[in-house]
Amino acid sequence: MSSAVNDRRRINGPARSVEPIYTATVMDSVAAGRSDGRGLDHMRPIYAKAGPISDGQTTASASGSAFYEQGSIRISCAVYGPRSARKPNARRAHFVCDFQYAPFACSKRSHTQSTDEHETSLWLSNTVGPAIRLEMYPKSSIDAYVTVIESDGKMATLAATINCISLALADAGIEMYDTVAACSMGLRDSQWIVDCTHQEDAECSVLVAYMPSVDEVTGVLQTGKTTLEVHEQGVQLCTNVCVRVYAVICRALQASVE
Amino acid sequence: MASTEQLTFAIETFKRIRPVEFQRRFLSQDTRHDGRAFLQFRATHVVKGTIGTAQGSATVRIGNTTVVCGIKAEVSEPDVNTPDQGYLATNVDLSPICSANYRPGAPGDEAQVDSEHIFRLFGEVVDLKQLCIENDQAVWSLSADIVCLKSDGNVLDAAIIALMAAVEDLKLPQASLDPATGVVSADKAIETQLTLRKRLFPATFSLVDDAYLVADADDAEERLTTATLLVVLDDQGHLANVWKR
């Protein structure tokens, strides 16, 4: 449901509009296996490209950029920096993530930056920030702008966003301890399923952001209720999958240099 | 060879520190820095149906400029004055993703002006009466959002082409209103497309450096542009719009 507050800066539709109730062709339970035939621990195919908009072809191009696809999730990220910061006396760089969904990216539309996007921006800054060697760039700021063009599964999209930002930061040549790789899992019928799509989105899910080379976790996000043992199992499984995602990101970076 | 290497290095430096002079060297010789003729457009690629979450979508690339348009359809009550017409709201989104010229947050001047212009243009294309579900009770409300992913000049042309393709790609499920509950249900199995009144074809021409008229200016040429002219033709070859800015 979207209610267009009379935004003077945009062309507005009607004040209130809702989605119609869609009938027929409803997906049944995941009991008979996943709809796209994947195994329980298989991620969707990833396509990652570093540097689509930062190749210096235009005069106002970004320092680093990345385009990331995972199944039907599509994310574009541009990194600007290090550039001069507003706080000239800071000893470390100021890293900020600006996260937004394209208006058509989700099943529900919204124009104004919802609290969800604000919260996600802050969480991303805190998850990817520790991987950057901020003390190497005093008095400067590094800005990452992320736009989700198409989303498919909330936690999976968040994980993909982290991967995309890591790729863009590496493309910008910013010094980091390691690229952050993330993956998410959903709990269904007491089984952890990797990389849930929108239809598979479960009540309980966990997301882990991990730096394989230094063996450190930068972020864990858990939604829903579960026991401590099941949660630990999920985090461990996630970490294992993160290593595979890390390999994909590294290969994409190699390809961009060649 | 040492001398050719020095020459290559000098060209890149020259382009960065003296952009105006760099462009003039080409324009005065009747050519452009990417080898095109003055009135030659860049290769344009249009792909429809790229966004699964949107009811209609298209991605357009003109050279390096990439634009994505997604149309989402929702249901709402019609305006009292036009009980049989739906809504079409078009918005252009220029963000730091595409170029360092744009700030994050609310749309800036360029985005607002482009949105308004495209909105007026497409009032002629889409017949809003086709969006009626139930007279005076329920109509489709289409929100078309054009997001620029990479800007290398001439975003407006790309936006118009993208919206045109997205509207052609739009598939609306068959909707019906339940008079008892007032709830609109839609059946995805049966989909209809809109019949458009006309199709639009835009072309942008720029006056570069106050002297040279070029078609489809890219980012480097747009920086030296003193005037721009947008000409839009429809499929009958009639003039749909002329806009000088």
The Cα of A17 is separated from the nearest Cα of chain B by a number of Å equal to: 4
Look up residue A133 and give its DSSP letter: -
Q: Are A92 and A175 in contact (CB under 8 A)?
A: no
pLDDT tens by residue, A140-173: 999 999 999 999 888 999 999 999 999 999 999 9
The Cα of A73 is separated from the nearest Cα of chain B by a number of Å equal to: 10
- List the one residue out of A84, A102, A224 whose CA is nearest residue A161: A102
For position A147, what pLDDT does the model report?
Answer: 94
Report the chain A residue with the minimal C-alpha distance to residue B88: A13
Among the partner-chain residues A57, A80, A111, the one whose CB lies closest to the CB of B64 is: A57
- Is A147–B97 a contact, with Cβ atoms under 8 angstroms apart? yes
Q: How far apart are CA A96 and CA A140, in angstroms?
A: 11
Q: Is A249 exposed, middle or buried (0-12, 13-18, 19+ CB in 10 A)?
A: buried
Among the partner-chain residues A4, A12, A24, the one whose CB lies closest to the CB of B189 is: A24
B60-64: long-range contacts, CB 8 A cutoff, minimum separation 24:
B60/B158, B60/B161, B60/B162, B60/B165, B61/B158, B62/B154, B62/B157, B62/B158, B62/B161, B62/B216, B63/B152, B63/B153, B63/B216, B63/B218, B64/A57, B64/A58, B64/B150, B64/B152, B64/B218
For position B11, what pLDDT does the model report?
Answer: 81
Classify the C-alpha dihedral A169-A170-A171-A175 as positive or negative.
Answer: positive
Report the chain B residue with the minimal C-alpha distance to residue A17: B76
Task: State the helix-helix crossing angle for B109-122 and B155-169, rounded to 10 degrees.
Answer: 40
Among the partner-chain residues A20, A78, A104, the one whose CB lies closest to the CB of B53 is: A104
Least confident of A52-66, A153-167, A215-229, B225-239: A52-66
For position A62, what pLDDT does the model report?
Answer: 86
Provide the token pair at A54: 């930062």
For position A48, what pLDDT does the model report?
Answer: 93
For position B1, what pLDDT does the model report?
Answer: 46
For position B143, what pLDDT does the model report?
Answer: 92
Angle at A120 between CA A118 and CA A121, to 5 degrees: 65
In this structure, which amino acid lies at residue A187?
L
User: What ipTM was estimated for this complex?
Assistant: 0.86
The DSSP annotation for B153-187 comes to S-HHHHHHHHHHHHHHH--EEEEEEETTTTEEEEE
Mean pLDDT throughout A166-194?
93
Cβ neighbours, 10 Å, residue A177: 14
Report the chain A residue with the minimal C-alpha distance to residue B56: A104
Mean pLDDT throughout A165-182?
95
Query: For chain B, how are helix, strand and coil distributed in percent, rounded to 5?
Result: 25, 40, 35
pLDDT tens by residue, A111-142: 555 778 889 999 999 999 999 999 999 999 99
Mean pLDDT throughout B190-209?
92
- Is A150–B51 a contact, with Cβ atoms under 8 angstroms apart? yes
Residue B93's DSSP bridge partners are B147
Neighbouring residues of A170: CB distance < 8 A, sequence distance ≥ 6 = A50, A64, A176, A179, A249, A253
Q: How far apart are CA B245 and CA B146, in angstroms?
A: 21
Using CB atoms and an 8 Å cut-off, which of residues 120-149 of chain A contact chain B? 143, 145, 147, 149
Tell me phi and psi for residue B111, to 5 degrees: -65, -40
For position A24, what pLDDT does the model report?
Answer: 58
